[in-house]
């Protein structure tokens, strides 16, 4: 593993990756902890701002070009912005069940699954994780173990969130 590819990427990619990691960690904390209290609301506002920054910065990353400078990732960025708006609107309107569903879905699809797709060969995060020699069986095993551990923790957190809600 080497941060060198990320440190030599464009400033937009660096910002995007840094803010996405912060949103991933804060989102996991939000899934894990008590819902509805003032701290949840404050952290939720920060998370929405982080996610909006991730989605907005993603609109300026053009490493995959399918339609001019755009790709399906850009559609996902727009979807995330819409879902953030819908999630906040649901919470403000008192529809907590819809708020929970929307925000959990945004976290899973807008961060977790999309984040995993950044590890496709040729992408910056692939080079960060696997280095210049690429993915060896040992590196892939470690990466898979980390993904499984993170998924188990996420499922546990979501289960706890359902039980508390």
What pLDDT, on the 0 to 100 scale, is given for residue 64?
Answer: 64
What pLDDT, on the 0 to 100 scale, is given for residue 159?
Answer: 65
What pLDDT, on the 0 to 100 scale, is given for residue 158?
Answer: 65
What pLDDT, on the 0 to 100 scale, is given for residue 165?
Answer: 53
Kindly list the averaged pLDDT for each block of 10 residues, start to end, along the chain of length 165: 85 93 92 88 97 93 68 84 97 95 93 85 86 83 84 71 53
The CA–CA distances, whole Å, from 160 to 94, 147, 155 equal 21, 20, 9
What pLDDT, on the 0 to 100 scale, is given for residue 155?
Answer: 72
User: How many whole angstroms separate alpha carbon 31 and alpha carbon 135?
Assistant: 31
What pLDDT, on the 0 to 100 scale, is given for residue 139?
Answer: 85
What pLDDT, on the 0 to 100 scale, is given for residue 151?
Answer: 78
What pLDDT, on the 0 to 100 scale, is given for residue 70?
Answer: 65
Question: What is the DSSP secondary structure assignment for residue 109, as one 8-state letter?
Answer: I
The answer to whether the CB of 155 falls within 8 A of the CB of 31 is no
Question: What torsion do the CA atoms of 25, 129, 75, 103 make, to the nearest 10 degrees?
Answer: -20
Q: How many structural domains is the chain composed of?
A: 1
User: How many whole angstroms separate alpha carbon 80 and alpha carbon 51?
Assistant: 8
Domain that residue 83 falls in: 4-164
């Amino acid at each position: 593993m080497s941060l060198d590819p990320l440190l030599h990427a464009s400033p937009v990619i660096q910002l995007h990756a840094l803010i996405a990691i912060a949103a991933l960690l804060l989102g996991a904390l939000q899934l894990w902890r008590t819902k509805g209290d003032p701290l949840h609301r404050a952290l939720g506002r920060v998370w929405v701002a982080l996610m909006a920054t991730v989605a907005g910065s993603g609109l300026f990353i053009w490493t995959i070009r399918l339609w001019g400078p755009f790709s399906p990732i850009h559609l996902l960025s727009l979807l995330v912005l819409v879902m953030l708006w819908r999630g906040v609107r649901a919470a403000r309107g008192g529809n907590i069940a819809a708020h929970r569903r929307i925000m959990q879905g945004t976290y899973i699809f807008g961060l977790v699954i999309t984040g995993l797709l950044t590890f496709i060969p040729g992408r910056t995060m692939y080079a960060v994780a696997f280095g210049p020699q690429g993915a060896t069986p040992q590196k892939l095993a470690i990466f898979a173990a980390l993904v499984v551990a993170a998924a188990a923790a996420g499922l546990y957190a979501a289960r706890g969130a359902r039980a508390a809600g």
